[in-house]
């Protein structure tokens, strides 16, 4: 959008162009002119002006018909149209309004009136453009967010397909993590980052070889070293994506323990991000309550006892208390 309002003058009389060019300062307006309706419509489409000054008495097709054509065009439907007329009678004005005109300028022009009307109408039109652009950007942003969300969920589904043992795990822990986060007083603007982090919590396992990820028996020490790299892989893959950087706390830190015995960095206590501390409790709970090839799911009371026993060791004591007190609302 040009800094100066763009005005299109559609009039077949050169004296009108010259008069308007003399009245409208060149440093304030960008002026274009057309000699008839066909040229005016073509230039209006090309320029998308801030306002159109349209003479009623045009050759071949009068200004009323041109006004209707402008209003029927999707690009020009909202452009302000000021009809130029030497007639100041009620039927002419009614016909102009019915054709879609916004206002009228009567010949001979009053300089102050012309400037005042153009200033008002172009300012309102530019404001409308700003609102439309803002709404368009908001829609684009929402579409982009939806595309990102679909991509994230696609990654998670790909991991679930690869690791059959955890099918459904991601959906369950994501829902429970959000419930616990809200009970813990996490602000709503942070919930969406927590949701994405929970969905992507094990995305780093995409870098772990199948021979380790699907091994039926215990892992060797060397295999454990490789397995413990999956949070680092998640960080390396996702940290360059601005959209996902606020969601990295869970994929990177959900294996850290309150007492500092976790990995990959051995963080301790409140060094561990809050989102990861919340998620860790839920993640362990779901693992305990799910069947695995090497064991059956634990009964609820045994799982609760384990969570209680690990308070202050694996888990944040305060968050553990909130979980245990509200377990029926969370799970």
**What does the alpha-carbon distance between residue 319 and residue 98 come to, in Å, rounded to a whole number?**
67
Helix H, strand E, coil C: the string for 71-86 is HHCCCCCCCCEEEEEC
**What does the alpha-carbon distance between residue 217 and residue 229 come to, in Å, rounded to a whole number?**
19
**Catalytic residue positions, numbered:** 205
Longest CA–CA separation in the chain, Å: 96
SS3 35: coil
Cβ atoms of 282 and 201 closer than 8 Å: no
* CA 301 to centroid of chain Cα atoms: 43
Total Cβ atoms within 10 A of residue 223: 16
Residue with tokens 């969370």: 330
Residue with tokens 């320029």: 47
Total Cβ atoms within 10 A of residue 177: 29
């Amino acid at each position: 959008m040009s800094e100066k309002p763009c005005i299109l003058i559609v009039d077949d009389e050169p004296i009108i162009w010259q008069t308007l060019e003399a009245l409208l300062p060149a440093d304030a307006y960008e002026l274009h002119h057309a000699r008839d309706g066909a040229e005016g419509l073509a230039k209006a489409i090309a320029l998308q002006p801030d306002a159109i000054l349209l003479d009623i008495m045009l050759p071949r097709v009068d200004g009323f018909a041109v006004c209707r054509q402008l209003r029927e065009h999707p690009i020009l439907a909202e452009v302000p149209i000021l009809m130029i007329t030497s007639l100041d009678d009620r039927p002419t004005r009614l016909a102009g309004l019915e054709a879609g005109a916004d206002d009228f300028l009567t010949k001979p022009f009053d300089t102050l009136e012309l400037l005042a009307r153009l200033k008002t109408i172009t300012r309102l039109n530019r404001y409308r453009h700003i609102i439309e652009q803002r709404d368009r950007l908001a829609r684009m942003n929402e579409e982009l967010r939806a595309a990102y969300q679909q991509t994230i969920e696609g990654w998670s589904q790909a991991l679930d397909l690869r690791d059959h043992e955890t099918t459904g795990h991601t959906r369950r822990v994501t829902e429970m993590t959000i419930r616990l986060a809200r009970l813990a007083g996490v602000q709503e603007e942070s919930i969406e980052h927590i949701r994405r982090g929970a969905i992507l919590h094990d995305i780093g396992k995409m870098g772990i070889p199948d021979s380790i990820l699907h091994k039926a028996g215990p892992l060797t020490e060397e295999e454990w070293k490789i397995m413990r790299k999956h949070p680092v892989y998640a960080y390396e893959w996702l940290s360059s994506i601005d959209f996902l950087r606020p969601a990295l706390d869970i994929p990177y830190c959900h294996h850290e323990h309150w007492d500092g015995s976790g990995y990959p960095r051995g963080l301790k206590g409140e060094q561990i991000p809050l989102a990861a501390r919340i998620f860790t409790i839920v993640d362990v709970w779901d693992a305990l309550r799910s069947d695995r090839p090497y064991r059956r799911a634990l009964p609820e009371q045994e799982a609760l006892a384990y969570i209680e026993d690990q308070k202050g060791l694996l888990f944040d004591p305060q968050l553990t208390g909130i979980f245990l007190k509200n377990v029926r609302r969370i799970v």
